[in-house]
Amino acid sequence: MASGKQPEGMTVNILPSWINHPPSHILLDAEPLLAFVVGSFDRSRLGTESSEKFEPADFDILENLARHFQLVCTPNILTEVNDWLGHFGYIRAELRAMFASKIPEMLEYYTPSLELSSGLKFIDVGLSDSSILFTARKLNALVITTDGRLIPHLYSANIAALLFSQLKNYYAART
């Protein structure tokens, strides 16, 4: 499904019920997006090298989100993922080819760095995380991250967010 992927009533099965308002988009922070790209290439590569925080089964969760929601990203996140892909040695080219094939499937939302750096949270979270805050608020996106330091900033800005571990626990409890 392309833009506007979320069919009526699908949120109940995909996201925890305590997500009060169904998001229109899912914004994967850099590490979950890296896991999505690596898993799309070869799920058995998850848990190795730069994707060591993830397991092959985690790809199923990320793939399920991508099937049901429009993924959104920022140029800052894409740059981080591209940099991490450079650490995969001999499969770097294949991973970057997979990454290139995933980019058109995402909505890339750009905010000038000047605007991001003038935001209230910039000093605390930096440029990439400021782009997440700004984009998630603007597009009503649910943020999926592994960054526990970012979560309080998202919550204080009234942005729906989950640590990937919370989402993983939710999926584990359903099975």
Residue 7 lies in a domain: no
For residue range 110-169, what is the model confidence (pLDDT) as tens digits? 999 999 999 878 989 999 999 999 999 999 999 999 999 999 999 989 899 999 999 999
Give the alpha-carbon dihedral of 6, 7, 13, 17, to 10 degrees: 70
Residue 87 is part of which domain span? 22-174
Residue 152 lies in a domain: yes
Q: What is the CA radius of gyration of the chain?
A: 15
pTM here?
0.88
Where residue 131 sits, what CATH number does that domain have?
3.40.50.1010
**How far is 58 from 171, CA to CA, in rounded Å?**
10
For residue range 52-97, what is the model confidence (pLDDT) as tens digits? 789 999 999 999 999 989 999 999 999 999 999 998 888 999 999 9
Residue 150 lies in a domain: yes
18 phi-psi bin (left φ>0, alpha ψ -120 to 50, beta other): alpha
| Structural domain count of the chain | 1
